Amino acid sequence: MKHEKISIKWKVFIYMLSFCAILLCLLWFFQTVYLDKFYKNIKKKEIDNAMENVISIINDDDAEDAINTIAERYDICILVTDNEANKIYSAGNASNCSVHKFSSQHLLEMYEKADKKGGEMEISNSRGKTINPQEESSSRNTGKADEEQLSENFDSSSSRKEFEKSKNTDRIGKLENMPNDVESIIKIKMVTASLGEKYAVMIDSVITPIDATVHTLRVQLIYISAIMVVLSLIIAFIISKRVSKSIIRINATAKDLAKGNFDVEFDGKDYKEIAELSETLNYTAKELSKSDLLQKELLANVSHDLRTPLTMITAYSEVMRDLPGENTPENVQVIIDEANRLTCLVNDLLDISKIQAGVARLETKEYDITESIKAIIERHSKLLEPYGYKIDFEYHENILVEADEFKIYQVIYNLIANAVNYAGEDRYIKVTQIKRENSVRIEVKDNGQGIAKDKLDSVWERYYKIDKDHKRAILGSGLGLSIVKNILVMHEAKYGVISEEGKGSTFWFELKIEMGGCFYGNFHRANCSNEKI
């Protein structure tokens, strides 16, 4: 069934194009809508910085050079006057500058007005084209706003004659070929010199971008947009192809894995995440291969273990039916023993299935683990004595633990059964109970062939069997260690195996002690002695 969802390659491609489109929209938006606003804000900040710089150096000996430098750096006009409108410092030669063209009367009135407003004043105005005498009649409307602005800015007590003079001066000072919507700002600030003299610092600057600049920016933006569209298409295609390449390859390999081919190898190494995913999938394939192999071995071993007792039961039953005098207690006992072996195998398989399915639950209680071990050893000893096996139990005192008695019984039973199946020629098994500060350690030791170091971790795995040449277990089903591991994990108990080839193996686990002391049944024993059975 084909998926209708879009592939990762095209998703990445669309994301890249979307990013480019959003970026271009933002560029166009800010360049067309907010260009003037940004430019004004930046210029106003520059004027403020320039004003602070001028004020900070106005008392220096080299103030004139410093003010010229500031005017050039910020592209502004600077005029410093005293309280009588005498020019102290003048910098900036911009043709659209107004402060240098003001009359003394205007400067004095501006000084007085700034002083009345707390020592600081700001004048904004729009400038039109230069007014030539021949254009007087056609440009009256252009200068009208300026006249009204100047009338508002200067004190009404000014003489009409001086006002007319300053008005004409301002008209002559208009910037040639400047559009009518160009806005400038004049900032005035009062300063007290080191000797107490008062100065007025005036800064004049255009705060809107000129048409040539705006046009240049927009032409550049058109070229940049075209280039970005082409580049984004190319880059989006390359990136989408490179990103999706490894994923597509891994997906194809995963399909082979799903079909049961566990020899596949995931080799995505283009990116960190892809490399980590490849390693995880390689590990998964390895574990699946191992699990598949062990399951096949289990089926073979379980089939063998089921077939042998069934064959014997069938054979002995037919003998007892067909031959007179063969219906003896010995033959009946063989049938019973083989039936019990079948029951043991089936029970072990059910136990593993329940534990791994999470169906099994712990029913913990406080009980005497020492007495439980004694009962298990006694049961084994009766069955194994005819075969020459000997099991010793070494302990110093009875110990109480909080655990599931039946499941821990299974653990000890299976560990002893495993030791019997792999015991050495001496057929000797030793069980040891060691009390520690807050736990008890149970060890089951045999003198068999031992286990290689590289296989120590594998003995606990599902379906694992060290002896690949399957042989019938002397005691138990041969599946006990898997049950042991799962039960101990449920109890959150420590467990392990110590082994060396040719020197036998020691399987152990530890449980927390619920109560300290030495016990016998329900009675505490004051003097504990070593016991051995």
pLDDT (tens digit per residue) in 193-234? 777 778 889 888 887 776 666 777 778 878 888 888 888 888
Residue 364 CA: distances (Å) to CA of 122, 128, 138, 404? 88, 98, 108, 4
What is the per-residue pLDDT for 330?
83
Question: Rounded to whole angstroms, how far apart are CA atoms 287 and 264?
Answer: 12
- Give pTM, 2 decimals: 0.46
Per-residue model confidence as pLDDT tens digits over 272-302: 777 888 888 888 888 888 777 777 776 776 7
Task: Give residues with Cβ within 8 angstroms of 193, minimum separation 6.
Answer: 58, 59, 199
CATH for the stretch 76-209: 3.30.450
What is the per-residue pLDDT for 285?
87
Residue 462 has pLDDT above 50, yes or no: yes
In sequence order, what DSSP letters do the residues of 239-276 get, joined into one string?
HHHHHHHHHHHHHHHHHHHHTT-TT------SSHHHHH
**Which of 192, 210, 188 is closest to 201 using CA atoms?**
188
**Of 12 and 129, more confident:** 12
Mean pLDDT over 363-368 rounds to 90
pLDDT mean across residues, the chain: 76
Residue 505 has pLDDT above 80, yes or no: yes
What is the per-residue pLDDT for 506?
93
Cβ atoms < 10 Å from Cβ of 49: 13
| Fold annotation for 361-532 | Heat Shock Protein 90 (3.30.565)
What is the per-residue pLDDT for 333?
84
What is the per-residue pLDDT for 531?
42
What is the per-residue pLDDT for 507?
94
Residue 502 has pLDDT above 50, yes or no: yes
Kindly give the pairing relationship between strand 531-532 and strand 390-395. Answer: antiparallel
Cα-Cα-Cα-Cα dihedral sign, residues 259, 260, 263, 266: positive
Question: Rounded to whole angstroms, how far apart are CA atoms 100 and 178?
Answer: 18
Question: Rounded to whole angstroms, how far apart are CA atoms 279 and 285?
Answer: 10
**Which of 395, 400, 398 is closest to 364 using CA atoms?**
400
Residue 133 has pLDDT above 80, yes or no: no
What is the per-residue pLDDT for 387?
81
Residue 529 has pLDDT above 60, yes or no: no
Mean pLDDT over 36-41 rounds to 81
- CB of 439 within 8 A of CB of 477? no
What is the per-residue pLDDT for 463?
54
CA distance from start to end of the chain: 68
Quick one: tokens of 512?
């927390």
Per-residue model confidence as pLDDT tens digits over 374-433: 988 888 787 787 788 899 999 999 999 999 998 898 899 889 888 888 888 888 999 999
